[in-house]
A = this chain, B = another copy of it.
Amino acid sequence: MKTHVYGVILAGGSGTRFWPLSRERFPKQLLRIIGEGTLLQQTFERLIQHIVPKQMTVVTNETQAESIRLQLHEWKDDLAENIILEPEGRNTAPAIALTALQLMHRDPEAVMVVVPADHVVKSPKKFMKAVQFATKLAAQGHLVTFGIHPSRPETGYGYIQPNKRKRVGSQGPFVGYSVARFVEKPDLSTASRYCRSGNYFWNSGIFVWKAATILEELALQQPKLSKILRGLGRQVGTSEFSVVLRKAYAKMPSLSIDHAVMEHSARSVVVPVDFGWSDVGSWGSLEDVAPLDKDGNVRNGNIIDIGSRQSVLFADRRLVATIGLDNMVVVDTPDATLVCTKDRAQDVKAIVSLLKQQQAPEHLEHRTVQRPWGAYTVLEEGSRYKVKRIEVVPGKRLSLQLHHQRSEHWVVITGTARVTRGEEVYDLQPGMSTGIPKETPHRLENPGTTLLEIIEIQNGPYLGEDDIVRLKDDFGRLQPVK
């Protein structure tokens, strides 16, 4: 049985609620906000305890693919096969449908364990036991979802009411019930009533089903989407597929799988579980899953505090001093700081919208940007100049490139730099420097076994990332940089 089980991680989200730690180009799943590793890495680790890495799939989009590959570097060569790239985000139904289609092609008996990349599970063991039970129900043709006992009248989640008289199976602590109904995010008084009744569960967004079952149900419930899928299905595995996919996605409705299928299907089943789940939906919710100090604070980074309580204090290397805070959120990053009351943490969305309107860079990306060869950090930008620290991991090199509008100077601070400048190739040690005139093809490489770090000073009238003309690249990035 186990060999037919496939892990499917939905990693297309671009949430704004963890700004300024998350950015449009660096969403929540890529963040290290609790425990070891990022949420994506933790999700991956949780699943590969029981699912062979070859049967893991990550569904994402082009903007995030590079960061995801970097975070899952253990995958290495198997990677290309295991990442499904959506041409654009269309909510969960198309992402799941596309994955089901591809899995059916590989294994008609495939059972999919569909999990969002950005949730926290405190007990991975309990989680996998629940998955094992759900897998059995799935093999019988059920569409299984996990229900979480509500601990508070949360209005940000959907709720599921089981039909307690229709048990579809049980094992140890687990029982599967037919679903009586799904309820969209309720208002506070309804949510309170649900909590008191004890007969409603939070919708965890985790699903277990056969690829065949979900495709059958999609055909039944979503004829339009299903028709597009059938067209796509004929091209799976062909060289035309990516072109066809792009066209198909342009026509695809944006729809959640709950709306598309679960709410209408007679095969929907809920299994109440207790594995310490949280979707960490906002800074305020971090206290549910993170370790607390004796005053109930979540603390991270260079914080010096006097007498704060029940607060989320999240810093990095810069110093943040706090005094007497009560139920507050303070998040400090190199280019932006957020200070808000915990009960208004959801309004971070509004801040991000304002920044987007103002075209402020602080909504889009961080000062440190990951690249397949390492990373760069913008230290300072002014009119006609920009200063970056560039890190190149051992054995990697940037593209061979040139700039029309700027010259660059490089000063090595650690490691060895191999520089290509025009026809010349030479090595620089720490304390050595070189200048790259504009229009000159050049390349930076780390031929050593330790990290290479350089300071780059750019000079010129225009310093955008799109003034990079790539002539050769190890990572297939020959289009203009976005």
Contacts and interface: CB of A to CB of B under 8 A. Distances in A.
A414 B319 contact: no
Given A328-B339, A384-B430, A457-B455, A321 B411 contact: no
A340 B320 CA distance: 11
A322 B335 contact: no
A320 B337 contact: yes
A350 interface: yes
A60 to B, nearest CB: 28
Contacts of A453: 382, 385
Given A319-B360, A409-B411, A455-B385, A325 B339 contact: yes
Contacts of A355: 304, 319
A407 interface: yes
A330 B321 CA distance: 10
Contacts of A407: 431
A363 B414 CA distance: 29
A354 B322 CA distance: 12
A348 to B, nearest CB: 7
Contact of A347 (B323, B330, B380): B323
A362 interface: yes
Contacts of A332: 337
Interface residues of A, number: 56
Contacts of A227: none
A431 B460 contact: yes
Interface of A: 19-20, 304, 306-307, 318-326, 328, 330, 332, 335-341, 343-345, 347-348, 350-351, 354-355, 360, 362, 379-380, 382, 384-385, 387, 389, 407, 409, 411, 413-414, 430-431, 433, 435, 453, 455, 457, 459-460
Contacts of A348: 321, 323
19 contacts: A304-B351, A319-B335, A321-B337, A321-B348, A322-B338, A323-B339, A323-B344, A323-B350, A324-B340, A324-B341, A326-B341, A330-B339, A332-B337, A385-B414, A385-B430, A385-B453, A387-B387, A409-B411, A413-B459
Contact of A337 (B319, B325, B387, B457): B319
Given A323-B351, A411-B409, A431-B460, A455 B336 contact: no
Given A413-B385, A459-B413, A336 B318 contact: yes
A9 to B, nearest CB: 31
Given A413-B384, A457-B413, A304 B354 contact: yes
Contacts of A350: 306, 323
A411 B348 CA distance: 40
B338 A324 contact: no
Given A19-B321, A323-B347, 15 more contacts: A318-B335, A318-B336, A319-B336, A319-B360, A321-B337, A322-B339, A324-B340, A324-B341, A332-B337, A379-B379, A382-B453, A384-B430, A411-B457, A413-B457, A433-B433
Contacts of A351: 304, 306, 321, 323
A340 B362 contact: no
- Of the candidates A330, A345, A455, the one having the most CB atoms from chain B within 10 angstroms of its own CB is A455
A463 to B, nearest CB: 11
Contact of A324 (B335, B347, B455): B347
B304 A321 contact: no
Contact of A459 (B328, B336, B385, B430): B430
Contacts of A330: 337, 339
A340 B360 contact: no
Given A319-B337, A321-B20, A335-B318, A431 B413 contact: no
Contacts of A389: 380, 387
Contacts of A19: 321
Nearest to A313: B339
Contacts of A338: 321-323
A354 B19 CA distance: 30
Nearest to A383: B414
A418 to B, nearest CB: 19
- Of the candidates A339, A345, A457, the one having the most CB atoms from chain B within 10 angstroms of its own CB is A339
A459 B411 contact: yes
A380 B341 CA distance: 32
Contacts of A431: 407, 459-460
